[in-house]
């Protein structure tokens, strides 16, 4: 499979409410793709289906495996999806508030480590080496995001913008092939948003991973993404390059009153 | 400020009014006269006023955000000092160990016994701390695993004459299996629901032991269980007390060592993450089933081991030793001391077990004093006596700290 993620006819019902309605989407390696749409369009629900938090009602979610073949991950537990190489962040920040910043990132590393109970109890050479290596790698990730100074702080003591960055750091630690960012710029001021734009592009370039992001900040979306999907009322109403989307009458109608030329 | 005074004044007047009939009026039935004890009213008024004012002041101070922000709790300061000065830490450990080892020389058998019990509760607390404090799974049936261990030794010893040291690991392993058995059905439950199911589980085990006469001898229990055997030595009663005490000191040190390592390992971090946010934890690649079952199994193991020790120490057990009250005491130790903190649990156990013991001179009042202290604790320090302290990592040359 040449695409890193391929979603076909994804549908998610909550009782009588169809939150996602046969959505198709694909992401190629090293691509930055945006998923936009008005509030309640079903974007977060789409993410939750892809990352295994919800089991979709219908449709296929295919992820390319290391050998290149496609694996259908519907109904996989979230941790299995993460092991397959999809790392994510949350719209409403979900850090581990009473753990240090470094420990938060090390949780992301968890699925790439192998120490068992006996290793923990007797702390043999292999376990010690693994722990040290993990801590160092996580520290490097923090350095990349400029959070290394706060390494030993509790996550809950970080300023808001840094908490968003820490979520990205934690997702990066899972060694993903693709990052799913749910409104990474929410609550940031314009200055921080510009920095975030650079940061996301830099992550894509240095880590060579694909990025799928949900965002309401049109400036960020238009600047950053190579392709854009637009959802409204659970359905995909458009997809294409930023230029296509900007001039698409359907999209303008869905966003009526909102400024997408920003 | 004036508002606070007014509120306290109001409380004082209310109390003066409410207690008026009993505190002020005294009917003398012999002379058929009424005594008016106005002084009592003044005492109550002043007492309630001062009490209420202090209470409000403390509450205010607690909620005041400016005070809170840069305030580092004493316990955290001590812990970070010790973490940064390994020498001081070693010294403190040495002093504590020496004190523990010398303790029986100066104390009588009664004191040693109380202390042995306190050590047992430290271990039980540390075991439950894995489940409740680290993994955040509220378990109200912990005593069930304690019972499993105790009955394992009692039955294997009285029926097959198996020795303490052979049964000790069997009891631990059996309790771990029961932990997993309990873990499976409650994987999806959290908080209150989990608490209710675990409570039920604890009661089921107790009821089975109480009613299955052929197996467990019912309410009359099992007597004549062998004391632990120490290298085949013939020990007098006092020597046995000392020996069990030293054995418990060793167990406690081993437990602290292992729990400390677990806490700062890959699996320990996963437990913390599970406690903090279950969804984020799964989304970051941690398997919920595995992590939860591991917490239940490991927590239960320590209860099972202590159960074996308990049966050997008392040489008589019956289901009455494994009631819900016991689970509640162990849980209080964890909550009082500070969830997830090893020094906290130790302190909690010492307070919960030693204080009621040494407060016997207050006779009936001791439970009231104790209950009052617990309520005050939960109002003013809901996070427990010792705040959770997270380890700092360092990479520059001092790699052994990562291992320490
Ligand atoms: N667990 C749930 N149970 C029932 N309904 C849900 C659930 N989660 C989401 N919904 C509904 O699904 C619809 C889509 O919600 P979703 O959170 O996916 O929107 P969104 O596009 O992310 O919006 P926003 O931009 O505000 O984050 C909404 O109508 C929401 O109420
Ligand atoms: Mg959303």
* pLDDT classification of B398: cutoffs 50, 70, 90: very low
Higher pLDDT, B276 or B22: B276
For residue A146, what are the domain limits? 95-174
- Give the ligand 1 atom nearest the CA of A43: 21
- Same domain? A233 vs A166: no
- Same domain? B335 vs B262: yes
Q: What is the 3-state secondary structure (H, E, C) of chain B?
A: CHHHHHHHHHHHHHHHHHHHHHHHEEEECCCCEEEECHHHHHHHHHHHHHHHHHHHHHHHHHHCHHHHHHCCCHHHHHHHHHHHCHHHHHHHHHHHHHHHHHHHHHCCHHHHHHHHHHHHHHHHHHHHHHHHHHCCCCCCCCHHHHHHHHHHHHHHHHHHCCCHHHHHHHHHHHHHHHHHHHHCCCCCCCHHHHHHHHHHHHHHHHHHHHHCHHHHCHHHCEECCCCCCCCCCCCCHHHHHHHHHHHHHHHHHHHHHHHHHHHCCHHHHHHHHHHHCHHHHHHCCCCHHHHHHHHHHHHHHHHHHHHHHHHHHHCEECHHHHCHHHHHHHHHHHHHHCCCCHHHHHHHHHHHHHHHHHHHHHCCHHHHHHHHHHHHHHHHCCCCCCCCCCCCCCCCCCHHHHHC
Nearest residue (by CA) to ligand 1, atom 10, is: A19
Q: Separation of A36 CA from ligand 2 center, angstroms?
A: 10
Would the pLDDT of B16 be above 90? no
CATH number of A212's domain: 3.40.50.300
Would the pLDDT of B404 be above 60? no
- Give the ligand 1 atom nearest the CA of A41: 21
- Same domain? A182 vs A229: yes
- The residues lining ligand 1, judged by C-beta closer than 6 Å to any ligand atom, are A 14, 17, 19, 37, 39-45, 91
- Same domain? B93 vs B187: no
Q: How confident is chain A (262 residues) per 10-residue block, as mean pLDDT?
A: 90 93 94 93 94 94 89 92 94 92 93 84 86 91 91 90 93 94 91 93 94 93 93 92 89 71 54
> Taking a contact as any Cβ pair under 8 Å apart, which residues of chain A between 164 and 203 contact chain B?
170-171, 174
- Same domain? B88 vs B115: no
CATH number of B196's domain: 1.10.3470
The neighbour count for residue A92, using CB atoms within 10 Å, is 8
- Same domain? B80 vs B180: no
- Same domain? B14 vs B41: yes
The per-residue pLDDT for range B283-304, each reduced to its tens digit, is 999 999 999 999 999 999 999 9
Inspect the interface and report whether the beta carbons of A103 and B276 lie closer than 8 Å: no
The per-residue pLDDT for range B58-112, each reduced to its tens digit, is 888 777 665 555 567 777 788 888 877 888 888 888 898 888 888 888 888 888 9
| Residue at B391 is within a domain | no
Of A41, A55, A89, which is best to mutate to test ligand 1, by the most ligand atoms within 8 angstroms of its C-beta? A41
- Same domain? A221 vs A241: yes
For residue B264, what are the domain limits? 109-380
- Same domain? B119 vs B82: no
Q: How many domains does chain A have?
A: 2
Closest-CA distance of chain B to residue A73, Å = 14
- Same domain? A188 vs A152: no
Whole-angstrom distance, CA of residue B321 vs CA of residue B78: 37
Inspect the interface and report whether the beta carbons of B265 and A119 lie closer than 8 Å: yes
Q: What is the pLDDT of residue B401?
A: 43
CA A232 to chain CA mean position, Å:
20
Closest-CA distance of chain B to residue A256, Å = 35
Helices B109-128 and B342-358: angle between axes, nearest 10 degrees: 140
Cβ burial A65-91 (10 Å sphere, 16+ → b, else e): eeeeebeebeebbbbebbbbbbbbbbe
| Residue at B393 is within a domain | no
Q: What is the pLDDT of residue A211?
A: 95
| Residue at B389 is within a domain | no
CB A248 within 8 A of CB A240: yes
Domain boundary among A119, A150, A174: A174
A72 touches chain B (CB under 8 A): no
- Give the ligand 1 atom nearest the CA of A38: 25
Percent of the residues in chain B that have a pLDDT greater than 70, as a whole number: 93
| H helix and E strand count, chain A | 10, 10
| Residue at A233 is within a domain | yes
Domain boundary among A146, A174, A202: A174
Whole-angstrom distance, CA of residue A140 vs CA of residue A151: 11
- Same domain? B58 vs B139: no
- Same domain? A165 vs A205: no
- Same domain? B340 vs B296: yes
Nearest residue (by CA) to ligand 1, atom 16, is: A42
| Residue at B397 is within a domain | no
Contacts of A120 in chain B (CB under 8 A): 261-262, 265-268
pTM: 0.86
- Same domain? A182 vs A258: yes
Q: Nearest residue of B to residue A173 by CA position?
A: B284
- Give the ligand 1 atom nearest the CA of A45: 18
| Residue at B264 is within a domain | yes
- Same domain? B122 vs B268: yes
- Same domain? A72 vs A109: no
- Same domain? A25 vs A131: no
Shortest CB distance from B265 goes to which of A97, A108, A115?
Answer: A115
| Residue at B372 is within a domain | yes
Whole-angstrom distance, CA of residue B299 vs CA of residue B128: 5
- Same domain? A181 vs A260: yes
Strand partners, B33: B28
- Same domain? B230 vs B285: yes
Nearest residue (by CA) to ligand 1, atom 17, is: A44
Query: Nearest 5°: CA angle at A82, between A76 and A87?
Result: 135
Shortest CB distance from B283 goes to which of A88, A113, A115?
Answer: A88
Contacts of A170 in chain B (CB under 8 A): 284
Mutate to test the interface with A, among B266, B270, B389, B395 (most CBs of A within 10 A): B266
Inspect the interface and report whether the beta carbons of A120 and B261 lie closer than 8 Å: yes
| Residue at A90 is within a domain | no
| Residue at B261 is within a domain | yes
- C-alpha torsion B273→B277→B278→B283, nearest 10: -80
CB A115 within 8 A of CB B265: yes
Closest-CA distance of chain B to residue A91, Å = 12
Would the pLDDT of B403 be above 50? no
- Same domain? A103 vs A160: yes
Inspect the interface and report whether the beta carbons of B284 and A113 lie closer than 8 Å: no
Would the pLDDT of B51 be above 60? yes
Shortest CB distance from B286 goes to which of A52, A90, A110?
Answer: A110
The per-residue pLDDT for range A92-107, each reduced to its tens digit, is 999 999 899 999 999 9
Q: How many domains does chain B have?
A: 3
The per-residue pLDDT for range B185-242, each reduced to its tens digit, is 888 887 788 899 999 999 999 999 999 988 888 888 999 998 888 887 888 888 888 9
CB B300 within 8 A of CB B124: no
Would the pLDDT of B400 be above 50? no
The overall average pLDDT reported for chain B is 86
Query: Given the DSSP bridges, would you call strands A32-36 and A227-232 parallel, antiparallel or unpaired?
Result: parallel
- Same domain? B159 vs B272: yes
- Same domain? A42 vs A120: no
**Interface pTM (ipTM) of the complex?**
0.91
Cβ burial B211-248 (10 Å sphere, 16+ → b, else e): eeeeebbeeebbeebbbbebeeeeeeeeebbbbbbbbb
- Give the ligand 1 atom nearest the CA of A14: 4
- Same domain? A107 vs A222: no
Q: What is the pLDDT of residue A256?
A: 64
| Residue at B400 is within a domain | no
Q: What is the pLDDT of residue B396?
A: 45
């Amino acid at each position: 499979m040449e695409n890193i993620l391929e979603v076909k006819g994804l549908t998610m019902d909550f009782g009588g409410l169809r939150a996602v309605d046969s959505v198709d989407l694909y992401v190629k390696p090293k691509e930055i793709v945006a998923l936009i749409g008005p509030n309640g369009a079903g974007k977060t629900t789409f993410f939750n289906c892809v990352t295994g938090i919800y089991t979709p009602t219908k449709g296929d979610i295919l992820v390319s495996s290391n050998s290149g073949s496609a694996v259908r991950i519907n109904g996989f537990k979230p941790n299995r999806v993460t092991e397959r190489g999809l790392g994510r962040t949350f719209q409403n920040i979900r850090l581990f508030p009473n753990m240090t910043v470094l420990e938060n990132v090390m949780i992301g590393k968890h699925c790439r480590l192998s120490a068992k109970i006996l290793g923990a109890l007797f702390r043999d050479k292999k376990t010690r080496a693994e722990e040290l290596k993990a801590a160092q790698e996580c520290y490097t990730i923090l350095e990349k995001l400029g959070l290394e100074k706060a390494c030993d702080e509790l996550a809950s003591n970080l300023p808001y913008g840094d908490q968003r960055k820490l979520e990205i750091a934690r997702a990066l630690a899972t060694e993903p092939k693709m990052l799913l960012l749910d409104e990474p710029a929410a609550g940031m001021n314009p200055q921080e948003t510009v920095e975030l734009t650079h940061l996301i592009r830099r992550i894509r370039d240095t880590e060579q991973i694909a990025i799928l992001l949900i965002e309401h900040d049109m400036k960020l979306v238009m600047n950053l993404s190579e392709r854009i999907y637009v959802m409204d009322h659970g359905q995909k109403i458009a997809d294409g390059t930023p230029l296509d989307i900007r001039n698409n009458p359907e999209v303008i109608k869905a966003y009526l009153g909102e400024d997408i030329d920003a | 400020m004036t508002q606070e005074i007014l509120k306290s004044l109001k409380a004082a007047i209310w109390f003066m009014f409410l207690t008026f009939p009993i505190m002020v009026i005294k009917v003398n039935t012999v002379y058929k006269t009424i005594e008016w004890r106005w002084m009592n009213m003044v005492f109550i008024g002043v007492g309630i006023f001062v009490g209420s004012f202090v209470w409000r002041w403390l509450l205010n101070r607690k909620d005041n955000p400016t005070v809170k922000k840069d305030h580092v709790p004493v316990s955290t300061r001590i812990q970070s000092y010790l973490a940064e000065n390994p020498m001081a830490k070693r010294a403190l450990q040495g002093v504590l160990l020496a004190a523990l080892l010398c303790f029986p020389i100066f104390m009588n058998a009664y004191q040693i016994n109380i202390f042995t019990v306190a050590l047992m509760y430290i271990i039980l607390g540390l075991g439950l701390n894995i489940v409740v404090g680290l993994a955040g799974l509220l378990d109200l049936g912990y005593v069930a695993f304690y019972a499993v261990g105790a009955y394992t030794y009692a039955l294997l010893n009285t029926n097959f004459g198996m020795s303490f040291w052979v049964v000790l690991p069997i009891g631990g392993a059996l309790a771990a299996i029961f932990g997993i058995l309990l873990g499976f059905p409650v994987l999806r439950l959290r908080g209150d629901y989990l608490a209710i199911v675990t409570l039920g589980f604890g009661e089921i085990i107790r009821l089975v032991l109480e009613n299955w006469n052929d197996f467990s001898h019912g309410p009359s229990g099992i007597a004549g269980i062998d004391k632990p055997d120490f290298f085949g030595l013939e020990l007098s009663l006092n020597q046995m007390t000392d020996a069990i005490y030293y054995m418990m000191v060793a167990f406690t040190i081993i437990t602290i060592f292992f729990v400390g390592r677990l806490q700062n390992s890959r699996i320990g971090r996963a437990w913390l993450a599970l406690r903090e946010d279950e969804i984020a934890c799964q989304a970051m690649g941690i398997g919920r089933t595995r992590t939860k079952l591991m917490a239940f199994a490991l927590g239960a193991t320590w209860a099972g081991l202590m159960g074996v020790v308990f049966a050997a120490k008392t040489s008589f057990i019956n289901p009455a030793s494994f009631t819900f009250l016991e689970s509640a005491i162990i849980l209080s130790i964890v909550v009082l001391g500070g969830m997830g903190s090893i020094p906290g649990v130790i302190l909690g156990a010492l307070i919960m077990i030693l204080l009621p013991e040494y407060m016997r001179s207050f006779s009936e009042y001791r439970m009231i004093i104790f209950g009052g202290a617990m309520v005050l604790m939960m109002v003013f320090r809901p996070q427990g006596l010792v705040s959770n302290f997270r380890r700092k990592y360092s990479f520059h040359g001092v790699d052994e700290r990562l291992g320490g």
